[in-house]
Structure 1
Amino acid sequence: MQQPPVARAYFALQALAGAVWWILVATVPLVRELTLGGLPALPIALADLPLFVGASALAACNIAWAAWVAAGWTTLVTLAMAAYATVTTQAGWGALAMIAATIGSAIAAIVIARGSFPAHWILLGPLGMREARPATRARNLLATAGQITVFWGLFLVVIPVVLTWFERRWQVDLPVPAAVRIAGLVVLGAASALGLWSGATMASRGDGTPLPSATARRLVIAGPYRFVRNPMAVAGIAQGAAVGLLLGSWLVVVWALCGSLVWNWLIRPIEEGDLEERFGDAFVAYRDRVSCWVPRHVWPRIVDT
């Protein structure tokens, strides 16, 4: 069976990148030091060349089982490299590269096995799409406040602090001017205000909450939703990037930007499909008039209902 071309192209690029990396390890001492530290290159190469480079090349040639070999081996190497970098503070760049390869290999292998990536997996359990039960405005506001507390605590405090710790432990951090941290604080304040405004509008006007498992019962096109269709997402991504600037962590900024891609490519189509199914032409008209990310007009001509 012919495998999806995008997944095959990924494995082709991964095989090429792996081969180039090994050439650089053998010829450029700095690359070897940054990505392998004190690890012996030869025994690692004897296993990695067939199981990573070779298996990725075979997966690119439409051999499905090779994709799982590459993904499995990459995962094992990533765990070992992360542990080594954490204990020794060496080879941090190698650990980061392997984390990226593991994520890419796993996604590509799943696409090869299923024909496409099952985005609905992301919205399972507590994140599953379900309309909120009838409740008072006060109850919806209280539920929204609880959701904001939990999600902001996790995604804007816990995860950034952990990422920053590993970034410094693995010695992959970069110097950041004080002005960048100040800018991060300013952006964080503005984005947080947008997030609170959006959450309050959703709870008070939509008879629900921003969480997919208790989503609004009414179509909300008031408040910040007059300017962009997803102000909560805009706020959250801006907050994540701002926290990265405030902490002086490029890794946290990348984490936030990757989150924006996941949301835009995987979650948004499901969410907007649900809105179109529930609200029909009203949502279609709103979607056609209001941009997802960047306001088209300063004051969109939408009735504030």
Structure 2
Amino acid sequence: MPVIAGIPITPATARLYFAVQAVAGAMWWILVPLSDDVRRVTLGDLPAGLVAAFDLPFFVAASALIAAGARWAIWVAVPWTTIVAVGMAVYATMTGLAGWGALAMVVAAGASIAAGIVLLCGRAPVEWLVTGPLAFRPAARVGTRALLARTGLQTLFFWGTFLLVIPLVVSFVEARWSLRIEVPLVVHLAGGALLTTATALGIWSAVSMSVDGDGTPLPSQMARRLVISGPYRYVRNPMAVAGIAQGISVGLILGSWLVVAYSLFGSVLWNSVVRPLEEADLEERFGSEFVEYSRRVSCWVPVRPAAFRAL
């Protein structure tokens, strides 16, 4: 059973989420006519009465019905929330208004889709994340030089996507939706220093994976040997540590709290959902060797050399 931030993801948890969503939505609609500030930052110039006529039954009431056990209401609340999120995002991007409302609905849409899937499947189908091209498979025996080349291409693609393209889009949206919070110069400089350190750790980890593990960081081309050398002597997942630190550092460089939040959310998702699947695969392939390694070396906190010298 996957656990995120200490909360088990079950159908009961999903129904609880829809209950919270219904209450939050109802409270918001109470505040809208009472506060010009709430209406302005969440609806902009949109006609509140017209939006409420659809949102109260399709979002608030449908979410409450799901929480009460009416599964059919999933097909009302989730599509409506998604449509509103897309519409609000387009509206906020075009006008620069209602940014906080757009952000709230985008988050609600993502959470509603996830909770709806859990309810329809009767569980959290986390194995979907490691199927198809992302399924765990050992790398082919192609030689160290070819593996290093593949690792380099993978690294360029993933870093370019998750550390450049997505953060730039998120930062643009943050500014356009008037969500930007100005930060002092020292924050940008700290981000640059952290990015340099984290990138060095990421490169060291990737090279160790190819040279010592006979594989690549990609799940479909995993190491054929258990890697316990290089940075893996100090922490079990140096590549994840590097990636999370890089994401946060890019957010600091851009002065974007949304990019930092996106990186932290990704770390929670990886640690709660992907890591257990990956470590189960490693234990199945390497048995007691991995069990002993995971017992001696922490997932996140580096250990002292004396703690792993016996490996």
- TM-score using structure 2 length: 0.95
In structure 1, the gaps of 5 or more residues are: none
- TM superposition shift of 1:29: 0.8
Structure-1 separation of matches of 2:235 and 2:72: 44
The answer on whether the counterparts of 1:221 and 1:302 sit within 8 Å (CA) in structure 2 is no
Question: 2:290 aligned to 275, 283, 294, which one?
Answer: 283
Structure-2 separation of matches of 1:303 and 1:141: 29
Structure-2 separation of matches of 1:125 and 1:83: 32
Structure-1 separation of matches of 2:185 and 2:129: 37
Q: How big is each residue's C-alpha offset from its partner over 1:67-93, in whole Å with a ceiling of 9 and x where there is no partner?
A: 231111100001110111111110011
Q: How big is each residue's C-alpha offset from its partner over 1:192-246, in whole Å with a ceiling of 9 and x where there is no partner?
A: 0100000000110000011101000000111111111111011001100100000
Report the counterpart of residue 138 of structure 1 in structure 2.
145
Q: Give the letter aligned to residue 188 of structure 1.
A: L
* Other structure's SS at 2:307 match: coil
Q: Map of 1:41-190 to 2, 5 A cutoff?
A: 41-190=48-197
- TM-score using structure 1 length: 0.96
In structure 2, the gaps of 5 or more residues are: 1-9
Whether 1:265 and 2:283 are equivalent positions in the alignment is no
Report the counterpart of residue 15 of structure 1 in structure 2.
22
State the Cα RMSD in Å: 1.2
Do the aligned partners of residues 84 and 155 (structure 1) sit closer, same or farther apart at CA in structure 2, a change above 3 Å counting?
same
Q: How big is each residue's C-alpha offset from its partner over 1:106-134, in whole Å with a ceiling of 9 and x where there is no partner?
A: 01000001112211222233322111011
Report the counterpart of residue 233 of structure 1 in structure 2.
240
The answer on whether the counterparts of 2:297 and 2:308 sit within 8 Å (CA) in structure 1 is no
Q: Percent identity?
A: 55
* Other structure's SS at 1:219 match: coil
Q: Give the letter aligned to residue 289 of structure 1.
A: R
The answer on whether the counterparts of 1:226 and 1:299 sit within 8 Å (CA) in structure 2 is no
- TM superposition shift of 1:264: 0.7
* Other structure's SS at 2:212 match: helix
Whether 1:250 and 2:276 are equivalent positions in the alignment is no
Q: Give the letter aligned to residue 69 of structure 2.
A: N
Structure-2 separation of matches of 1:28 and 1:180: 34
- TM superposition shift of 1:14: 0.5
The answer on whether the counterparts of 1:8 and 1:60 sit within 8 Å (CA) in structure 2 is yes
Q: How big is each residue's C-alpha offset from its partner over 1:274-294, in whole Å with a ceiling of 9 and x where there is no partner?
A: 101100111111111111111
Do the aligned partners of residues 81 and 299 (structure 1) sit closer, same or farther apart at CA in structure 2, a change above 3 Å counting?
farther
Structure 1 stretches of 4+ with a deviation exceeding 4 A read none
How many equivalent pairs are there?
A: 302
* Other structure's SS at 2:138 match: coil
Q: Give the letter aligned to residue 155 of structure 1.
A: F
The answer on whether the counterparts of 2:237 and 2:299 sit within 8 Å (CA) in structure 1 is yes
Q: Give the letter aligned to residue 258 of structure 2.
A: L
Structure-1 separation of matches of 2:306 and 2:84: 52
The answer on whether the counterparts of 1:226 and 1:300 sit within 8 Å (CA) in structure 2 is no
- TM superposition shift of 1:298: 5.2
Structure-2 separation of matches of 1:216 and 1:68: 42
Report the counterpart of residue 193 of structure 1 in structure 2.
200
Report the counterpart of residue 205 of structure 1 in structure 2.
212
